[in-house]
A and B are shown apart, each in its own frame.
Chain A
Amino acid sequence: MRGTRYEATDYVRMVVFIIITIIVIFPAYWMVMTAFKPMDEWLKYPPVWLTLRPTLDNLKSILGMAKGTIINPAQSAAGPAILKGLFVSVTATFISIAAGCMAAYSISRYQIGGNFLPLFILSARMFPPIAVILPLLVMYTWVGAIDSYWGLIVAYAGFTIPFSVWMMKSFIDDVPKEIEEAAVMEGMGNFEVFYKVTVPIIKTGILVTALFVFILNWSEFLVAVTICYQNVETAPIFLASLFSAVAGTLYGHQAAMGLIIIIPTVVFGYLIQKHLARGFTFGALKR
C-alpha cells in the first residue's frame, strides 16, 4: 500500500518489528553462519559471531565437489538426494491435493459419511508414526514397495491426505452454494461444476494447502528412512547421514544442507505469497 501516510505509532510498530525480527531471525542467521564456517569454528568458545574465514568447503563437500580428509570426509553428493526427494515430494503433494480436493468437495457438498468420515480421516493423522512404521514395513514387503519410488509417494500422499481434506473442505465451505447451483442450472454436469467452477474459486486455498503438504513431504524423515535403502533417497535422509565418525556431527555440512533444503520451500512460498495470507478462514467465516 504505497502512498499511505504513516503515523508515529506506525513507525513505533516498525521498530518493534525490527526487534522481533532480529530475535526470530537469529537462529536462522546462526545456521547460515555455520554453513560457511570452517570446522574448528563450529563449536568454538567464545562463539564466533561473524566468521572472518568464510569457507565454501562445507557446501562443496556436500555437493560432492571437495576431496575428503579423514577428519572432514567428503560425503556422497547431495544432488541425487535432492532431486529424488523433490520428485517424490512434488508427486505426492500433487496426488494428495487432487484426491483431497475431490474428497473435500464430496464431504462439503454431499456430507458423505456424515460427521464420522471427516473425523475418521482426521484421526489418521493422530496415529504416532513410529507405530505405523512396522505394519507399513510388513505390508510394503508383501507388495514389493520397499525402496521404491511409488511406495514412498503413496505413503506420503496417504499421510498428508487428512490435512489436504480438512484444509480444502474449509475453503470449499466458504464458496457460496449459489454459484454452483447457478452453474448446474446452466446445464453443467456435477463433476464439471466441481472442476470448472469450484476449483478455480478456491485456487488460493489449493495453493496454500499445497505449500503445507509439500513442506510436510519434503521434510519427512521417519518413513523415508525406514522404507528406503539405496535406490530412493530424500533430502532429510541425506541430512541425517552428515556425520563423521571422528568429527562427530558435521554441523557446518548440515547447516549448508539445511540452506539448500529450504530453497524449494521458500521459492514455492514466494511464488504464492500474495495468496498466503488470504487463505485460512476454514469455512468459519463468511463475507
Chain B
Amino acid sequence: MNREEHKKLYEMNRRRFLEMTGIGGLAVLSSTSLFGLEFPGLAHAQVAGKNAEERAINGVKALKSKMKGNTLNIMVPSGGEGSFTAAKPWWEKATGIKLNIVVVPMDQIVQKSMNLAVTKSSDFDLLLPSPFGLPDLIEAKLALDLTNFTKKHNPEIAGPNGVIPPIYLFGMYKGKLYGLVTDGDVNSLIIRRDWLEDPNNQKVFADKFGYPLARPVLYKELFDQMKFFTNREKGTYGAWIFVSPFYAKWEFLQLLTPRGVLPFDKDMHPQIAGAEGVAALEEIIAMKPYLHPGCSTGGWSEQYKAYAEGNIWAAFAWPSFIKYMNFTDFSKIPGKIAVCKVPGMKLKSGMILRPCRFTFSWAYMVSRYSKNPEITYLYSQWMWSPTISIKHIPVKGGYFDVYRYSHIKSDELLKQYDPHIQEVREALTFNLENAYPELILVGGDEYMTRLDENVIAAYQGLKKPDKALKETADQWEEITERFGREKQKEQWNFLTSCFGANLRKEMNLPNPPDWVEKLG
C-alpha cells in the first residue's frame, strides 16, 4: 500500500468511528423519545380461558407466530431461582418457548437493572425487582406499564383465588400497574410457644406484670414480655428486633405507623420529627437491654441462625423464617414457635391499630425494551397464576411466600411452614390484610437510607433522637425537592391508598383505583 492508499484507509476508519459516535449519539437522543409502541384504549376482548394460567397459555399461542427469537431472558436474584428452574420445564412443554434464567447476586440486582435502563438494552425481558425499587425503574423508563395487558388477560388479581389486597397495590405506581407482586413478605410476630404455654412462666409473669402472659395485642405487652424473658446470665433474650443497617428504618416505621402517623403528609412534608416520631425512636432505644447483641449488626440470616439456637422469645420475621425454624437440620426448636398477628397501639379514639410491615418482596417487571413484551408479560401471568404458583412456591431454593387466598386456603402449602396450620393461616391472613407499604417512591432508597442512618445513630447514642429525626426530615425535604415535589406528591398520595382496608378506614385514607376488582 502506498501513501495515498494509506491515507484513504485512515480516512475511512476515522469516518467510521465518527459515524459510530454520531449514530451512538443519535441513538441516545432519539431513543429517549421513541420506545416500545403501546396500544392504548383498544377494546380488549377478554382472552379465552377459564383461569389465569389458561389465558396466559392461550395468549402466548396467539402471539407465538409473531415472536422475535424463541427465548425469554430473565434476571433473577440469587437464592430465588428455585421457583423459576422448577417451573421452567412446565412452561417449555406448554409453549415451546425457551427460558434463559440468569442469576445475579442480590446486591448487584439494583445496579444491573439501572444499567439496563441507562443503556436501553434489550438483553433482558423480565426482571424481578422489589416493589420499593419499582419507581426508580419506572421513572428511568425501564418498566413497562402492564395495565392494558392485565385488563386484556386478567391474571386473577381479584376473585376467590385472588391476591390478598393490598399486596398487589404495592406493584402499582400512580394508579397504573407495573409489577406483579409475587411474594407475601409480611413481617409476622413469632414467639416461643413452649415458653408461652409453660405454666411457671405464666404464673410468674402474671404476678410480676398483673396481666396474663398471652400473644401480645399491644406493643406495651410485647415490651413487658421482652423484659420478662431477658436474662443475660442465662443467655436468653427478649427479642431479635433489627437495628442494623438497612433494617433499622423498618423498625422505626413499624413503631410510627400504629400511632396513626404517616411518614409524609399530603404535601410530602415529613411528619417523622414530631412527638410521635420521637416517641417511636425512643421506644427503639429503650429496647436495647432486651435485644440479642447481634441485632445491631446482623441481617436476616444472622437472625435466623440466632433464633434457631433457641434462646430468644420473640422476633419479627418474614414467612420463610417460619419454615426454617421447623427444619430439623437447621433449627434446635422445631415445632416450638407460635406465629402471631402483629401487635399494635391504641389510638386516642380507643381503636387498636395493628399495621403490619410489608418489606422487600419481589415483583415481576417487564422491560420496556424487551423484544417480546406481551409474551413476557404472559409468562409472568402464568407464573403468578393461582394454579401454577401454588406448585412452585413450596419448592426449596425459592424466595416466594404465600400471597393469594388460594395459597392461604391450602393446607398442603401451609403445612410446609408450620404444623399448626390454622394458627399460621389466621396470623398470615390478618397480617397480609393489614399490611402497609414501605416508601415506594422515586428515590425511595435515598429516603430510607437517610432514615436508617439516623435511627442507628440515635440508637448508638451518637445523636439525640429529636435531632436525628429532624435531620432526617431536612434531608427528606432536599430529596423531595430534587425529584420534584409535585411528582412525589402524586405517588405518595396514591401510596396512602395502598394500605390495608382496615387501616384505610381507621386512618382515613383514600381508596385505591377499583379497576382491578372490576376485572373479576
Contact = CB atoms under 8 A, between A and B. Distances in A.
Q: Do chains A and B touch in the complex (CB under 8 A)?
A: yes
Interface of A: 68-71, 73, 76, 134, 137-143, 146-147, 225-226, 229-230, 240-241, 243-248
A225, A229, A240: which has the most chain B beta carbons within 10 Å?
A229
B27 A142 contact: yes
B483 interface: no
Contact of B120 (A68, A76, A141, A245): A141
Given A147-B123, A245-B79, A142 B397 contact: no
Contact of B118 (A70, A134, A244): A134
Interface in B91-136: 100, 102-106, 108, 111-112, 115, 118-121, 123-124
B106 A243 contact: yes
B375 to A, nearest CB: 20
Given A230-B102, A247-B301, 15 more contacts: A70-B327, A71-B329, A73-B79, A138-B28, A138-B118, A139-B24, A142-B25, A142-B28, A226-B115, A229-B123, A229-B124, A243-B106, A245-B106, A246-B301, A248-B301
A243 B78 contact: yes
Nearest to B119: A141
A146 B119 contact: yes
Contact of A70 (B100, B104, B396): B396
A69 B120 CA distance: 38
12 contacts: A137-B115, A138-B119, A141-B119, A142-B25, A146-B123, A225-B111, A241-B78, A243-B78, A243-B105, A245-B106, A246-B301, A248-B299
A229 to B, nearest CB: 6
Interface string B3-27: 0000000000000000011011101
Contacts of B79: 73, 244-246
Contacts of A147: 123
A142 B20 contact: yes
A241 B301 contact: no
A240 B107 CA distance: 10
Interface in B1-54: 20-21, 23-25, 27-28
The 9 tightest CB contacts between A and B, nearest first, are A142-B24, A245-B79, A141-B119, A248-B301, A241-B105, A70-B396, A230-B102, A246-B301, A137-B115
Contact of B112 (A76, A229, A241): A229
Contacts of B119: 137-138, 140-141, 146
Contacts of B397: 68, 70, 73
B399 A226 contact: no
Interface of B: 20-21, 23-25, 27-28, 78-80, 100, 102-106, 108, 111-112, 115, 118-121, 123-124, 299, 301-302, 304, 324, 327, 329-330, 396-397, 399
Contacts of B105: 240-241, 243
Contact of A141 (B78, B111, B121, B299): B121
A243 B78 CA distance: 8
A202 to B, nearest CB: 31
Contacts of B301: 244-248
Contacts of A134: 118
A226 B111 contact: yes
Nearest to A227: B115
A224 to B, nearest CB: 11
A248 B115 contact: no
A124 B207 CA distance: 73
A68 B444 CA distance: 36
Nearest to A244: B79
A63 to B, nearest CB: 18
Contacts of B324: 246
B306 to A, nearest CB: 12
A71 B329 CA distance: 9
Contacts of A139: 24
Contacts of A247: 301
B118 A229 contact: no
B121 A142 contact: no
A143 B24 contact: yes
Contacts of B304: 246
B78 A143 contact: no
Nearest to A134: B118
Contacts of A229: 102, 104, 112, 123-124
Nearest to B112: A229
A179 to B, nearest CB: 32
A78 to B, nearest CB: 14
A244 B80 CA distance: 10
Contacts of A138: 28, 118-119
A248 B304 CA distance: 10
Contacts of B112: 229
Given A241-B105, A243-B106, A245-B79, A137 B118 contact: yes
A147 B120 CA distance: 14
Contacts of B102: 229-230
B180 to A, nearest CB: 21
Contact of A245 (B28, B78, B108, B330): B78
Given A226-B111, A229-B112, A244-B79, A146 B121 contact: yes
A183 to B, nearest CB: 28
Contacts of B24: 139, 142-143
A271 to B, nearest CB: 34
B367 to A, nearest CB: 13
Nearest to A247: B301
Contacts of B299: 248
A143 B123 contact: no
Contacts of A246: 79, 301, 304, 324, 330
Nearest to B301: A248
Contacts of B115: 137, 226
B207 to A, nearest CB: 36
A68 B119 CA distance: 36
Contacts of A244: 79, 301
A248 B78 contact: no
A240 B302 CA distance: 19
B28 A248 contact: no
B88 to A, nearest CB: 16
Contact of A248 (B25, B27, B302): B302
B118 A142 contact: no
Contacts of B120: 141
A31 B100 CA distance: 35
A247 B79 CA distance: 11
B19 to A, nearest CB: 11
Contact of B330 (A71, A142, A225, A230): A71
Given A138-B28, A245-B301, A143 B20 contact: yes
A225 B20 CA distance: 25
Contacts of B23: 142
